[in-house]
Amino acid sequence: MNVTATLIGQLIVFSILIWFIKAVLWEPVINTLEDRKKRIADGLAASEKGMKDQELAAENAKHAIKEAKQAAAEIIAQAKARDTQMIEEAKNKAVEEADRVIAGAQAEIDQEVNRAKDSLRTQVSALAVAGASKILGKEVDANAHKAALKELIEQI
Amino acid sequence: MSESNAPAISNPVEYIQHHLGNMTHNGERPASLVDFSVFFVDTFVMSLILALAFAFAAWKVGKNLDPDKPTGMQNILETVVEFVNQQVKDIFPTADKWVGPLAITIFVWVALMNTMDIIPVDLIPSLVSGVAGVFGYDPAHVYWKAVPTTNLDTTFALALLVFGLIIFYNIKHKGLFGYMKVFATHPFSASNPIVKVLLFPINVVMTAIEEVAKPVSLGLRLFGNMFAGELLFLLIALLAFSYWAMPGQVVLGVLWSIFHILVILLQAFIFMLLTIVYLGLASQGTDEH
């Protein structure tokens, strides 16, 4: 229970110990702790960001799928419409073609009829002249009776 | 009285006096309360060994700090550093690079020195006496006080350095004039200039007492607690005077040891905390006064 020269020795030991501890323990450990704190915070922030990104990506994917579905439906609808249109067009074309064919045939028939009539007319006039000659016993001049013949022919 | 009934401690007064004696560099006892011609070898060597142990552990851990997977001693020291740093952050008004190391050194070193109290009171002195006996000294006259903090030298060495730092921080943060102004205007202040002058001597005396009381209370608190604890261990050890009292020694020894663990850490913590508080007060600017 005395104060002695040991006091000075203890003061020296204490001072050196403080300096030593500061250099080898305090500063490195504080730095490590700060560094670790920062890294943990960074890691947490990164994981949060990753989670958000993932959420965003999921949202985007959903959106894209929805859009694709919509586009597909549209394309299908369009195709269906085109399909109907094509069938309609084909039908119309077919009808037109048929009409044209029929019209052509009709025209040909009419032509044939006219040709037959024409030949018939010529033959009728010749026949009429021949018949009259026979009946009258003399030559009939076709030109002289042109008007009568023409009337006859017209009747056909 | 037969041989088997002989008391383990034949002379209680001599036993306690022997235990309270220090090994000095020349074998002389200090002549008075303050005697700088004497050097206590036991106190110095014990505290030096503990300081070296702490320094070695700190160096070992600080050298291979693993930031990712702390193990073993690094965990312990990291926890202590974080704990002390938290106290400093809570109390200290400004950032200071020396307060933390000072606080952790006080806490760990004092705790280690106090822990010597838990080691059975006769173990270390007996070992030293035995070794001294081998070298031809008379074991009865080899003194060895194992707990450095039961010595005023150790506690006042710590307190004096803290005292010096208090003055240094005061001057550093308040300026020499600001520090003197604290002496002149604290704790009693007045707006009237005449009263101010009248209060001046009272303030100087009061503040001086207040400042000096800080290291004295720091040193005496630790010393008193540890000395009383050590003395109680010695008194409990005295129960070995007879075989029928030995169960009492065991029971009381266990109880006091367990309770003393609390005292050991608490006193180290209080010393550290008050150091931070005092230095924190010293680091405040003059605006608060």
- CA distances for B285 relative to A10, B52, B162, B173, angstroms: 32, 37, 19, 6
Closest CA to B151 of B47, B253, B78: B47
Share of chain B above pLDDT 90, in %: 45
Contacts of B30 in chain A (CB under 8 A): 2, 4
> For B248, how many CA atoms within 13 A lie in the half-sphere containing its CB?
11
Mean pLDDT of A13-31: 93
Interchain proximity B48–A13, CB inside 8 Å: yes
CA distances from B66 to A85, B35, B38, B78, B187 (A): 77, 48, 46, 11, 50
Round to whole Å and give the CA distance between B267 and B151. Answer: 15
The whole-number average pLDDT for the span A80-100 is 93
Q: Do B58 and A20 touch (CB under 8 A)?
A: yes
**pLDDT for res B287:** 58
CB contact under 8 A, B33 and A30: no
Question: Which value does ipTM take for this structure?
Answer: 0.86
Question: Does residue B49 surpass a pLDDT of 90?
Answer: yes
Per the annotation, the verdict on B221 as an active-site residue is yes
What is the rounded average pLDDT of the residues B47-71? 90
Q: Is the Cβ pair A2, B65 closer than 8 Å?
A: no
Q: What is the mean pLDDT of residues B244-262?
A: 90
In this predicted structure, what is the pLDDT of residue B1?
A: 33
Query: Which site among B19, B81, B147 would you substitute to test the A interface, given the most A Cβ atoms closer than 10 Å to its Cβ?
Result: B81
Active-site residue, selected from the candidate residues B37, B75, B189, B217: B217
Whether the link from the prior residue into B187 is cis, omega within 30° of 0, is yes
Hey, is B266 helix, strand or coil?
helix
As a whole number, mean pLDDT of residues B73-87 equals 92
Segment (H or E) for A40: helix A27-136
Nearest to B18 by CA among B159, B129, B114: B129
Q: How far is A19 from chain B (nearest CA, A)?
A: 8
